[in-house]
Structure 1
């Protein structure tokens, strides 16, 4: 029998509500949390798992960063303590003790052994810095390198004091030296020491007097082994010059030079390049610092990491110059020929470690110079 239309509508509505209630579960009737459908039940745990995995990854990343920071601080602290301890020991070996001036002649026989010990410790100190530079701040590296330069200058000065015989040998050869023509007719720097109480400028040693060239243009300038041996060399205000330094300087400073080619034998300690442009430099040293320099190629052997600051267009390649007697110059310089960090450069103006600095680059192998004569 057919029911009235109103009953059928009411019955249809009730059936739909019952079906919706059955799907929603007890929550629809106040009986608690409704169970999720099969698809929703699969999506929610997966989303929670992803969120938990991301949380764990972030926590692990922060833990590793914190651990790395702690290790770096610990390493930096260990380096500072070890460096300070060794520096004090070297200074004690080099510096005059109480009453030494009055007993200088009596103690002179024992001083060479102390200087050799100081030289060995200084070499170890340089190695400590080279091995630690990867976790040190730039200012820590700079301070340590400047301390090493001062110590090396003091060591060289002490060695000069203990070799009075060289003065007589020089005097005996004076006539021969005066008869020989000078390598360059102009721009040679006189051998002068810094005034008393005045500290040497950055990159200059504190021991032997300066030698070198300044204010010259379009000249070929040369110095030989006897003139360079453990001397501090300054090249300043040169333009379009070719400079040949065959020998073993103590330090080298190249300042405000333009369009110059400088070929230098092994330098015992540091080389400072400052304010140069469009130059070609061939250098071997323990430390290389480059400031305010533009569009310059540097062929280098350096036993520590090179540093650049306020530079652009600086390009590096390994040292390839050779000349008769260079083996002896390497031996007197103390440089390790088997160690060359020519392509490890720290840019003080570029702190991003995951991106290369735009201020320096490597010279492609096919573009490198191999013949210098």
Structure 2
């Protein structure tokens, strides 16, 4: 009997060792597969990025080359979004930095190909300063300047920009309501900069959205087909859907988000997130135009590049409690 029990224990020990060896082998194989995928991604991504950069360097005024570079950059963005599941944090960060550089290059190439007149402003009247909430922005002017924007009754001069321009923007404003229609922003790059205490409504589907030096603002935007870049934003509320969100130097800001990859923050504190909840009549049509997946929302999956402690939540961002979330945006 004792010999039988000993044999049984030896068999169990041998089986356990064999199973452990098999688990280790499978783990090594899985790691090798991930490394192989990562190497393939990095090689393919960097080769395509270099090709797009070369394409941009020779764009000049050739619109067809600029359109090709834009389309290939969007495809590269999709390639990255589809690969986030197996990339390391370093690989992901490097790829996103490369994409941001391409986006900047595209904006510069568009400005070179389609030069825009600089916006000019007059000082606002005292009446406008006393009642900034009456200012409403961006309705087409006359037939001679079809893409000009005139904030109503705020004393600000007309903002003249050629209709061919691929970028539209609001800059250097305080205490006004600003609106752009789908016709004005569809598939364009939108830039909002140096805005204070403003309420902004962006209807339609921009290509990209850049927010820079924003303070005390409420900014609501339709589906952005690629990326949203935020830099130096404070004490604000944002609502936006996009493929990718990258946020820098931002404090005490609430973000109502629909994002199909993962949100990224860096050098931020006091940033809180909730699901995107703004709505307007053509929202669903704009989601179709943008190409965003309506059913895929990673609003609570946030990567903080300043907090790499595995298994511990970053203190720089939080989830907005359900009872504190805003659900009504416009009267």
Name stretches of at least 5 consecutive residues in structure 2 with no aligned partner: 1-13, 115-139
Following superposition, the deviation at residue 77 of structure 1 comes to 0.9
Q: CA deviation at 1:63?
A: 7.0
Q: Of 72, 92, 107, which aligns to 1:141?
A: 92
Distance in 1 between residues matched to 2:147 and 2:227, nearest whole Å: 32
Q: Is 2:310 aligned against 1:348?
A: no
Partner SS state of residue 294, structure 1: strand
Paired position in structure 1 for 2:81: 130
Match of 1:212 in 2: 170
Partner of 1:43: none
Q: Which residue of 2 aligns with 1:368?
A: 325
**How many residues align structurally?**
303
**Distance between the aligned counterparts of 1:299 and 1:146, measured in 2?**
24
Contact 1:253 1:271 in 2 (8 A): yes
SS of the residue 1:266 aligns to: coil
C-alpha distance in 2 between matches for 1:259 and 1:118: 36
Contact 2:173–2:198 (CA<8 Å) still a contact in 1? no
Find out whether 1:174 has 2:145 as its counterpart: yes
SS at match of 2:214: coil
Unaligned runs of 5+ in 1: 1-51, 164-168, 193-206
Judged with a 3 Å threshold, the aligned counterparts in structure 2 of structure 1 residues 59 and 255 are, in CA distance, closer, same or farther, namely: farther
More helix by share: 1
Tell me which residue corresponds to 1:15: none
1:79 and 2:41 matched:
yes
1:316, distance to aligned residue in structure 2 (A): 1.2
5 Å matches for 1:25-64?
none
Instruction: Mark the CA change 1:69 to 1:185 in structure 2 (over 3 Å): closer, same or farther.
Output: farther
Q: Distance in 2 between matches of 1:315 and 1:211?
A: 26
- Shift, 1:296, TM fit: 1.7
Whether the 8 Å CA contact 2:220–2:278 is kept in 1: the answer is yes
Quote the residue 1:223 is aligned against: 179
Aligned partners of 1:289 and 1:131: how far apart in 2?
17
**SS of alignment partner, residue 130 of structure 1:** helix
**Would the aligned equivalents of 1:233 and 1:249 in 2 still touch at CA under 8 Å?**
no
Question: What does the per-residue CA deviation read over 1:50-85, in whole Å, with 9 as the maximum and x for residues that have no partner?
Answer: xx9999999899877766654443232111012124
Please report how far the alpha carbon of residue 315 of structure 1 lies from its aligned counterpart in structure 2 after TM superposition: 1.5
Larger Rg: 1
- Residue 363 (structure 1) shift: 2.2
Equivalent of 1:313 in 270, 274, 289: 270
- Listed as ranges, the matches of 1:55-134 within 5 Å are 70-88=32-50, 90=52, 96=58, 121-134=72-85
**1:6 — aligned with what?**
none
CA distance in 2 between counterparts of 1:294 and 1:243 reads: 19
**1:180-329 equivalence runs, <5 A:** 182=152, 185-186=155-156, 208-209=166-167, 211-216=169-174, 219-225=175-181, 226-229=183-186, 230-238=188-196, 240-329=197-286
